[in-house]
Structure 1
Amino acid sequence: MTECSQETFAFTAHFLRRVEAGFTAGRISSDGGAILLREADRKIGLLRRLEGCFVDRRHPKRIVHRVREMLAQRIFGIAMGYEDLDDHEQLRTDPLVALLSGKSDLEEDLAGKSTLNRLELVGRSERYHKIDYSAEAIDRLLVDLYLQSHPQPPEEVVLDLDATDIPLYGHQPERFFHGYYDSYCYLPLYIFAGDQLLGVRLRPSNQDASAGSLTEVSRIVEQLRTRWPGVRIVLRADSGFCREEIMAWCEANQVDYLFGLARNERLCRTIQGSMEQARRLHESSGKPARFFTEFAYRTLSSWSRERRVVAKAEYLERGENPRFVVTSLSTEEWPAQNLYEKLYCARGDMENRIKEQLHLFADRLSTAQMASNQLRLYFSALAYTLVEALRRLGLRGTDWAEAQVDTLRIKLFKIGTLVRVSVRRVFLSMSSAYPWKSLFTHVFRVLRC
């Protein structure tokens, strides 16, 4: 790009006044509100503990950028909306980012894209690669952060499982075409408990949607029960996870489940009477009509036993719309309609949580190693965990308690801020025209208490 040395810019006049601009205001950052993320991190200890998940084999006397600083750069950067390493080439002189990253001298440059690239390209044997991470340690950290967020053990934990597609446009490893998504993609698995993320695993797309999920669920359940031995755990997922292996494991380990069940001719015949009732009600009222029923069901060969199936016999303007779920939960505790409408349908909110992962650039998986792409997926997950902590701790009870990350980024983090550094203090002089000062003040007070 051609370097421009122009210092003053003359724009169209405003009535009788000239309109001029210049980059002369000093060390101003556009992300002053992200200082609240630093306070959220102080509350939950994410970055301090994440540093322990990495092994740094660099010579101590030659280290300019500590691992914790680089991790903070990436995770805070993702939360603020900076999606890749090229952005950090421009951000390395931003004093606010230096403050967030824990740099002792805010006048020093931060790590650039080449240094951060060496952090991310793990699993290589070349002599310049000196930093590695433990996936097992990061997996444990995500669950530990969930556990510590509860002062008292809950009576019940509902684990939501889902897979999503990450389209691929290059020649990444384990690249396969997926017929359902009609693209080359990865198929990562996400596990949430409410809004909190407990696990994420990168997977190729040439396998079943449930592949590997039992491994992830079993380690999470073990970690939860080690801390909360009496907690009840329920798995909830769509029909892609309705597999004999998973249901049998749940039954053997006192874990309840609620899974969607793909329709077939036998199931549809079983609810034929209820569907006929729904059709007649629809024709007489002109409105959608539904009836709920339940029955014991076993597949012809794949299931080892009969299980409780709840059916929704629904008739819409376009015709029949049958839906089925299979569960270990009892009729006494969860009658058919409540089970479907209140418990199963609540899993739909998980789609919003996965959408937030994409707002945090979980689809930027363009490296040539699966381990490196898994690390990038972790970075997005950890940035989400940080934003979720800010939302849960600082915004609870406000109109923004359920605001998604892209909204928080624009309205809470993007504050023009002049950074003044002296011997005794760092002062962030924020825009006096910022329209949500009262909300910022509220979040600050909650996080600092």
Structure 2
Amino acid sequence: MNFCEEKEGVNHVIAMATNSQFKLRATNFIEKAKKEYEEKLLPVTELMDSLFSKDEDLEEVRKLVPNATWFRSIYYQTEKSWSRQRRVVTKVVYGSEGLELRHVVTSLPPSQITPSQLYTKQYCPRGEMENRIKEQQLDLFADRTSTQTFQSNQLRLWLSSMAYVLMQAFRYHGLKKTSLSKATVGTIRLNFLKLGARITVSVRRIVIAISSSCPYQEILAIAHSRIQAIPNTS
């Protein structure tokens, strides 16, 4: 944090573990979230009570009621480890699983971004970034860098990166507006690349015959026609 704050134009949004002080200072918002959730739950439970016996387990019904979510920010400083006060944003969630508290510390001031926007627009998207890294590591084997030289490991990473670019292009151009438009690389490999087929090579052409029972044949045909329509890819 100190490193970021010492650099001009560099900000940070970092997750923090909860502690008794954070929970104590969020008491107001915890009560508000609990009250909001119970108000949303009450008409549902009254309806279910009128339809079913009192002995019926209503836990599943509670899960259908949306959680109550509140955000708040304070300025906080630890006793020893922090050199200054810093802004801490707390997300308070109350629902069927009870209370959940999440905290992030940031250098961004309240005048620049609200607590809810900071958490949902700045902090949460980092999970999506991590998913893309995980795709390349697990589905395209970017973590296979166990050879003895730097150059050979670099080549492996290049090949994995190029494969990801191709997969992303296939997903963007070929699968747009289909049920697999947001499919992971692993799903694309499983459903479109790992297919049993008969290949017939003649003088004039190569014929690839895929089984007529292929569950994604329609989407595959759409993707194929779209890719052919891209200039210089036919």
With structure 1 as the length reference, what TM-score do the two structures score?
A: 0.38
Equivalent residue number for residue 124 of structure 2? 345
Aligned pairs (5 A) from 1:407-426 = 407-413=187-193, 414=195, 416-420=198-202
Percent same amino acid at aligned positions?
34
Q: Distance in 1 between matches of 2:198 and 2:86?
A: 59
Question: Could you say if the C-alpha distance between residues 278 and 445 of structure 1 is closer, same or farther in structure 2, counting changes exceeding 3 Å?
Answer: same
Which residue of 171, 191, 212 maps to 1:391? 171
User: Which SS does the other structure have where 1:253 is aligned?
Assistant: coil
Could you list the per-position Cα deviations for residues 9-62 of structure 1 after superposition, in whole angstroms to 9, with x for gaps in the alignment?
Answer: xxxxxxxxxxxxxxxxxxxxxxxxxxxxxxxxxxxxxxxxxxxxxxxxxxxxxx
Question: Could you say if the C-alpha distance between residues 307 and 319 of structure 1 is closer, same or farther in structure 2, counting changes exceeding 3 Å?
Answer: same
Which residue of 406, 410, 413 maps to 2:186? 406
Equivalent residue number for residue 44 of structure 2? none
CA contact (8 A) 1:412 1:440 kept: no
Q: Distance in 2 between matches of 1:430 and 1:345?
A: 43
CA contact (8 A) 1:311 1:325 kept: yes
Which residue of 289, 298, 311 maps to 2:68? 289
CA contact (8 A) 1:257 1:327 kept: yes
Question: Could you say if the C-alpha distance between residues 439 and 409 of structure 1 is closer, same or farther in structure 2, counting changes exceeding 3 Å?
Answer: same
Question: Could you say if the C-alpha distance between residues 368 and 431 of structure 1 is closer, same or farther in structure 2, counting changes exceeding 3 Å?
Answer: closer
Q: Once the 2 structures are TM-superposed, how far is the Cα of residue 247 of structure 1 from its aligned partner?
A: 2.9
User: Which SS does the other structure have where 1:331 is aligned?
Assistant: coil
With structure 2 as the length reference, what TM-score do the two structures score?
A: 0.66
Q: Once the 2 structures are TM-superposed, how far is the Cα of residue 260 of structure 1 from its aligned partner?
A: 1.6
Which residue of 75, 80, 86 maps to 1:307? 86
Which residue of 225, 229, 233 maps to 1:445? 229
Alignment RMSD: 3.3
CA contact (8 A) 1:362 1:377 kept: yes
Q: Which runs of 5+ in 1 are unaligned?
A: 1-243
Aligned pairs (5 A) from 1:97-176 = none
Q: Distance in 2 between matches of 1:335 and 1:302?
A: 26
How many residues are aligned here? 198
Question: Could you say if the C-alpha distance between residues 289 and 407 of structure 1 is closer, same or farther in structure 2, counting changes exceeding 3 Å?
Answer: closer
CA contact (8 A) 1:261 1:326 kept: yes
User: Which SS does the other structure have where 2:92 is aligned?
Assistant: strand
Q: Once the 2 structures are TM-superposed, how far is the Cα of residue 361 of structure 1 from its aligned partner?
A: 2.6
Q: Once the 2 structures are TM-superposed, how far is the Cα of residue 446 of structure 1 from its aligned partner?
A: 1.7
| 1:429 equivalent in alignment to 2:207 | yes
Q: Which runs of 5+ in 2 are unaligned?
A: 42-64
Q: Which has the higher helix share?
A: 2
Question: Could you say if the C-alpha distance between residues 307 and 382 of structure 1 is closer, same or farther in structure 2, counting changes exceeding 3 Å?
Answer: farther
User: Which SS does the other structure have where 2:103 is aligned?
Assistant: strand
Question: Could you say if the C-alpha distance between residues 317 and 406 of structure 1 is closer, same or farther in structure 2, counting changes exceeding 3 Å?
Answer: closer
